[in-house]
Each structure stands twice: as structure tokens, then as C-alpha cells.
């Protein structure tokens, strides 16, 4: 293992152990920094101290154009890669491995800020109803899973990561404990529909699925009694969408977007929504306000007698 590879391994270990990044994020950072190491090796750099600002700038250009022989990255992926590189150099400086940070002046490429995709309440209701079609444990699980995703705004990794101890369904205000990015914990209230779906699944569905396994604390189990994977949860949504006749592309994140958009449209304060979503900054949440403002404009244009041109 070269000096660069050793430094990369130390940084990734820091991200996993001390920063608590998810396996999914760590895998992405590993790919990004592996490509960076290969790029630096091609320029004759064999340790972190020998890297210059021009190296970092050249790499940022390479991932945008593919001039290093690698895949041309989309702006969002290129921005993540540059962020990973900058984080590694900051870590090396903080640990005393280098005397300066050659990436400090290199900014991630700008990305277009697309409005989140949300679906109307009626379509969400149709999706949820379609998830519970059939008999047995699986429809009960699928309905509970989608109710949790839409009812709490949870990320898919947070939902499948729920353990039975994370549920408080009998308190004065039912709630679930979610662990977001960096294992940051938050407690989110759960509405009546999600509570009913969870209780039906926990009483009549989960015990049946659990019998196939060796004992597991995860809330959502597959037919082998093991924790449901992100990919399987995605398939649950796709199956329900097909049954409901929803032709637009839906993802678990669509339900998270819909959760936030519907809350704001109903008058929720943006800072409350920020806490519910687990966003570190309210700026991230404010993108949803653009959705509701657009809806407001459309309603005004259609309904106000003096709005017509």
C-alpha cells in the first residue's frame, strides 16, 4: 500500500468511525478518493505533502471532462467528489500530515438546484392503499413501511434502519426515533394512519416474518426474517406504484419530498419542517418553499378575477 493509499484509508476510517457516515456515503467517498489517488499517482505524487493546488484543479477538470480516462461525472457527482477531496486535505492538515491545504481555494462546481418532486395527496393515498393489497404479513409490512416514509419524511436508510426499540406508539404523542446522516438522532411524531399500520404489522405481520429468522430487532423484515434492504424497500414502492396506476417515476425520496411539501402547503413553519427532516441547515429546507410559492401563484392566477391577463 502506497503512502497515498494509507492516508486515504485513515481518512475513510475517520469518516466511518468518528463521523459516523453511512455505508452508502462511505462507498461513494471510497470511489471518489480512489480515482483521486490514481490521478495523483499518474502525476508523480506519492504522498499528501507533495500535492499542489494545480493537481487539485486538474483533477476537478478531469472528472468534469473525463480527461483522466474515467467517467464524466454529472455536476452533482463532481461536486460531491471535490467535496470529498477537500475534506481529505483538511483532515491531513489537521492531523499534521501536511503543512498546508492545496484544495482550500478549489470550489466544487455549481449544480442546478432542481425543485424536489412531490406528488399530490390523492396519489399518495392511492399508493398507500395499493401497498396493502393481498393477505398475509408482506402487505401489512409494505403498507406500514410506506406510511412511515410518508408520515415521518424519513430517508429510506432511516426507515429500514428502525429497530423495535425506536418506536414509541403508545405515548401521548406517538413518535419514532430516526438516525440520519452522521448518526444524528431525531425524534419525529407519527400520525394516526402510520401508527395504525405499524401496530397492525407488529401484531399480525412481523411475528410471522420473524419466525423465518434467528431473532432480529429490525422493524421491517424480509421473508427470511432478516432486515429489509434499501433495494427491497425500493421494490415495495415500485410494486405499489404499479398497482395504483401511477406512471410517473417514484422513489422513496419522492415520499420524503411530498411529506415536506404537503406540510408547508398546510401552513407548517419551515424551521419545524427542517427539524422533522433532519436538515442541518434551514437553507436546505427552504427549497421546498419554492414549490409551495409556485402552487400559490397558480391558484391565484386561476382564481382571482383581476389576475387574468
83, 129: one domain: no
168, 225: one domain: yes
Q: Position of cell 414509541?
A: 168
Is residue 155 part of the annotated active site? The answer reads: yes
242, 131: one domain: yes
Res. 195: pLDDT tops 80: yes
Specify the pLDDT at position 34: 95
Catalytic residue chosen out of the listed positions 155, 206, 257, 262: 155
- C-alpha R_g of the chain: 23
Q: Are strands 185-189 and 175-179 parallel, antiparallel or unpaired?
A: antiparallel
155, 244: one domain: yes
Q: What is the number of structural domains in the chain?
A: 2
Mean pLDDT in the chain? 88
Q: Position of cell 406528488?
A: 119
Q: Position of cell 478518493?
A: 33
- As a whole number of Å, the end-to-end CA separation of the chain is 69
Q: What is the CATH number of the domain that holds 133?
A: 1.10.443.10
Is residue 288 part of the annotated active site? The answer reads: yes
Res. 296: pLDDT tops 80: no
Whole-number Å distance between alpha carbons of 206 and 77: 38
Domain span including residue 17: 3-94
Kindly give, in sequence order, each residue whose CB lies less than 8 Å from that of residue 239, ignoring residues fewer than 6 positions away.
131, 142
Is residue 253 part of the annotated active site? The answer reads: yes
139, 238: one domain: yes
Residue 287 resides in a domain: no
Is residue 107 part of the annotated active site? The answer reads: no
Whole-number Å distance between alpha carbons of 86 and 285: 25
The C-alpha cell that represents 194 in the structure block: 402510520
Catalytic residue chosen out of the listed positions 224, 253, 271, 297: 253
196, 88: one domain: no
Q: What is the number of other CB atoms lying within 10 angstroms of the CB of residue 253?
A: 13
Average pLDDT over residues 237-250: 89
pLDDT band at 48; cut points 50, 70, 90: very high
Residue 303 resides in a domain: no
167, 211: one domain: yes
Catalytic residue chosen out of the listed positions 35, 86, 256, 262: 256
Is residue 11 part of the annotated active site? The answer reads: no
Is residue 181 part of the annotated active site? The answer reads: yes
Q: What is the CATH number of the domain that holds 16?
A: 1.10.150
Asked if 98 contacts 89 with a C-beta cutoff of 8 angstroms, the reply is: yes
pLDDT digits (tens, 9 = 90+) for 208-239: 999 988 888 999 999 999 999 999 999 999 99
pLDDT band at 39; cut points 50, 70, 90: very high
User: pTM here?
Assistant: 0.65
pLDDT digits (tens, 9 = 90+) for 175-189: 999 988 777 888 888
Amino acid at each position: 500500500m502506497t503512502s497515498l493509499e494509507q492516508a486515504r484509508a485513515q481518512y475513510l476510517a475517520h469518516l466511518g468511525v468518528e463521523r459516523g457516515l453511512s455505508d452508502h456515503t462511505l462507498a461513494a467517498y471510497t470511489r471518489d478518493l480512489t480515482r483521486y489517488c490514481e490521478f495523483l499517482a499518474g502525476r508523480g505524487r506519492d504522498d499528501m505533502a507533495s500535492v499542489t493546488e494545480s493537481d487539485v484543479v486538474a483533477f476537478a477538470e478531469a472528472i468534469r471532462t473525463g480527461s483522466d480516462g474515467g467517467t464524466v461525472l454529472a455536476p452533482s457527482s463532481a461536486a460531491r467528489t471535490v467535496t470529498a477531496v477537500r475534506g481529505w486535505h483538511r483532515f491531513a492538515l489537521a492531523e499534521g500530515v501536511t503543512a498546508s491545504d492545496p484544495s482550500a481555494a478549489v470550489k466544487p462546481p455549481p449544480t442546478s438546484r432542481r425543485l424536489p418532486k412531490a406528488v399530490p395527496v390523492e396519489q399518495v393515498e392511492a399508493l398507500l392503499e395499493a401497498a396493502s393489497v393481498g393477505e398475509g404479513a408482506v402487505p401489512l409490512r409494505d403498507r406500514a413501511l410506506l406510511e412511515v416514509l410518508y408520515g415521518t419524511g424519513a430517508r429510506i436508510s432511516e426507515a429500514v434502519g428502525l429497530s423495535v426499540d425506536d418506536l414509541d406508539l403508545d405515548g401521548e404523542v406517538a413518535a419514532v426515533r430516526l438516525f440520519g446522516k452522521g448518526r444524528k438522532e431525531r425524534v419525529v411524531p407519527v400520525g394516526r394512519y402510520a401508527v395504525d399500520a405499524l401496530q397492525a404489522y407488529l401484531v399480525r405481520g412481523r411475528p410471522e416474518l420473524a419466525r423465518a429468522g434467528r431473532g432480529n430487532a429490525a422493524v421491517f423484515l424480509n421473508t427470511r426474517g432478516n432486515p429489509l434492504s434499501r433495494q427491497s424497500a425500493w421494490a415495495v414502492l415500485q410494486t405499489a406504484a404499479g398497482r395504483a396506476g401511477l406512471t410517473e417515476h417514484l422513489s422513496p425520496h419522492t415520499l420524503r419530498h411530498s411529506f415536506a411539501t404537503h406540510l408547508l402547503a398546510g401552513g407548517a413553519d419551515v424551521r419545524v419542517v427542517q427539524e422533522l427532516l433532519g436538515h442541518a441547515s434551514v437553507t436546505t429546507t427552504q427549497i421546498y418553499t419554492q414549490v409551495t410559492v409556485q402552487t400559490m401563484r397558480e391558484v391565484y392566477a386561476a382564481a382571482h378575477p383581476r389576475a387574468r391577463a
